[in-house]
Amino acid sequence: MALYAELHRHLGGSVVPRVLWRYFERHGADLIARFAEYSQFEDFYTRPRNSLDEYLELHTLVESVQTVETLPYFIYRLLRGAYIFENLAYLELRYTPYLRTPEHLSQNARIDKMAEIVDVVGKGSYVPEYPIVTSQILCMHSRLPYEVNKAIIDLAAQNQQYVCGIDVAGGDRYYQERLEEWVSLYDYGRSLGINTTGHLYETTDGCYPQLLPYLMRIGHGIQIPLLFPQLLKDIAKRGQCLEVCPTTYLKTGTLQDIRQLKLVFDRCFEAGVDIAICTDNAGLHNMRLPFEYENLLTHDIINFKQLQICQNAAFRHAFAWPHHQPPASLLNRLLKPELPKVLTMTD
């Protein structure tokens, strides 16, 4: 039994179409009235989009039903699927807490409500029958004002029991107009000792070298090896890890063929840059982490040895994995105590 670490999964995009359909059947039939049957809904929900913007619009559909009352329902099903079908031992869930607060409230009232959301997600993620180590990454959002994003950082700092880092999401081409603001927000986050990742170098619109020094991991980052391989040396020196989510690039129109990722992996391996393979929006993609692995193997993008290197890198770069080793060595000791060899994180 292999156990995996998932470092990049959005709470909104993690709801598989069947679970969302069932939820709508029970609680929001009007939202699915235009679909005669489930297969039509699944097709609408999971089909590729023309751009990242169009793709991100789907998130709002799920965000609108993920409220403080319904979050435990969705999180329970997420963990159940992740444990049973994906063999996850570790999961970082990311989302923008502000977007789960009631829209009719004032900005300040919504900021005040964010702590409750973090608490509900944290408590909902503790499911003894599906023992996965979980933590939250709070996403700042490219279309939210500075005050809200700063409050998200403060919230992360105040809730280390449940939160392991911050991110910026919402479409990477919108960073440009407020670049200094993003730099100062990340600088502030780092000054508080918060772990950082950020959606960057995902598309050709999202290439901002000014932000790179502030990130411990890079959300996607595929345009670095593809278009700016000269940056890889510094990325390796800083020990930054790329969170590569293969299916995303086909769903957003960023890449036309998954085999384009071969160059990403080859150049990163060559430069000594770690890659964690992730799903991003497993539900929207109707995808599970083991299938992402398998896809990369069957398309000859990586081999088994490289896959294991990436799987170990995911545990090493996990912000809240509480052990010094990946699960294989822990399981060895538990299941075969007579074995003398102990694997370490560098194996």
Q: Which residues bind Zn ion (CB under 5 A)?
A: 280
The CB-of-305 to Zn ion minimum distance in angstroms stands at 27
The CB-of-179 to Zn ion minimum distance in angstroms stands at 20
Angstrom distance (rounded) from CA 165 to CA 46: 28
Torsion angle in degrees (nearest 10) through CA of 112, 282, 326, 167: -40
Complex with Zn ion: residue 170 or 326, whichever CB lies closer: 170
The CB-of-342 to Zn ion minimum distance in angstroms stands at 34
Complex with Zn ion: residue 125 or 247, whichever CB lies closer: 247
Complex with Zn ion: residue 21 or 98, whichever CB lies closer: 98
The CB-of-122 to Zn ion minimum distance in angstroms stands at 20
Complex with Zn ion: residue 32 or 275, whichever CB lies closer: 275
Complex with Zn ion: residue 171 or 225, whichever CB lies closer: 171
Burial of 341 from C-beta contacts in 10 A (0-12 / 13-18 / 19+): exposed
- Cα–Cα nearest to 264, from 251, 249, 253: 249
The three-point CA angle 142-313-81 to 5° equals: 70
Q: Which residues contact 336 (CB under 8 A, 6 or more apart)?
A: none
The CB-of-79 to Zn ion minimum distance in angstroms stands at 19
**Cβ–Cβ under 8 Å, residues 148 and 98:** yes
Q: Which residues contact 147 (CB under 8 A, 6 or more apart)?
A: 107, 111
Rg (CA), the chain: 19
Complex with Zn ion: residue 86 or 280, whichever CB lies closer: 280
Angstrom distance (rounded) from CA 219 to CA 92: 13
The CB-of-334 to Zn ion minimum distance in angstroms stands at 33
The CB-of-304 to Zn ion minimum distance in angstroms stands at 26
- Spacing of C-alpha 268 from chain mean position: 20
Complex with Zn ion: residue 32 or 264, whichever CB lies closer: 264
